[in-house]
Structure 1
């Protein structure tokens, strides 16, 4: 079904693109919310991801999974966002701390998963959080993650390993 929709979307069928994106919307949104830990930023990333994927659908060559292609676009948009906001990092950190409890409540009451591990993961910086999510929540291989993030595979492995150690330490501290 996806292949037919993709082909129709690539030929300019806007309805096919909308159907394709709507079919996977929940999957993409869950990834983006876990990546950003900010519902406002997540909505912006989601909209920009949809726009970029629509404008660049002709570039999708089928060499990777459709969802991998979209997640790559979303991840790169978020990384660009973080680069632009680097000067304001202290403000983002303070905002993230202030909204952590609110976000947890919103996610739980919207039917999304959020547990003690997510509490720890949200405290990781994006350079460590994103590879961990891609590897252990979404099952991507190290080489796929490296390609998505535009970094070396060894760097991905190192970041995932460090993230796991931080999560384990956080769980030990919290007594879980």
Structure 2
């Protein structure tokens, strides 16, 4: 983290609204891209990103620099998503199916290739998808992911392993 970033965080913690706005603006795109992949639902990702920014504004004083600011935001976002999924248990399956159709349409309507990997990712459970994304796309360690998702690192390892096995099976089938 550069000195400019630390300075902005420090000013934001002291109530500097402009510093806080700049911090959030610099991290919004990164956060949104993570949430799109985690939720497979563009409108939910946008809503969660905004909720994360609000939570960050409320909790900026509690950020202690123990992890990167971006990791702190991903932790907040992941927990908000997990809480949301708990509340939406019955609707979750329908939401994900709609989200996948929406993402596929967005890619295809822009003449972008719909990635088989993204398609296969969409068929993982949300818990496995988040673990695989955080480990293999964002490069976090098992302990760090466990802390973000409030689960033991062993659970993270088993979710990543199960998710990767399912992805490999699906992608191998598509190549036949």
TM superposition score normalised by structure 2:
0.91
Which secondary structure state, in structure 2, belongs to the residue aligned with residue 74 of structure 1? Answer: helix
Give the CA deviation at 1:103: 1.3
Give structure 2 stretches of 5+ with no counterpart.
none
Tell me what 1:53 maps to. Answer: 56
| Counterpart-to-counterpart distance in 2, 1:32 and 1:44 | 10
Task: Report the CA distance between 1:105 and its aligned residue.
Answer: 2.8
Q: CA deviation at 1:100?
A: 2.2
* RMSD between aligned residues: 1.9
| Structure 2 CA distance for partners of 1:113 and 1:146, relative to 1, 3 Å | farther
Provide the C-alpha distance between the structure 1 equivalents of 2:73 and 2:10, rounded to a whole number of angstroms: 16
Equivalent residue, structure 1, for 2:82: 79
- Give the conservation status (yes or no) of the 8 Å contact 2:41–2:103: yes
Give 4+ residue runs of structure 1 displaced > 6 Å after superposition.
Answer: 110-113
Over residues 2-58 of structure 1, what are the superposed CA-to-partner deviations in whole Å (9 max), with x where a residue is unaligned? Answer: 111101100101111111111121111000011111112111101110000110000
Q: Distance in 2 between matches of 1:112 and 1:135?
A: 25
If the length of structure 1 is used for normalisation, what is the TM-score? 0.91
What does residue range 1-176 of structure 1 map to in structure 2 within 5 Å?
1-86=4-89, 88=90, 91-107=91-107, 115-175=115-175
- Aligned length, in residue pairs: 173
Structure 1: give runs of 5+ residues left out of the alignment.
none
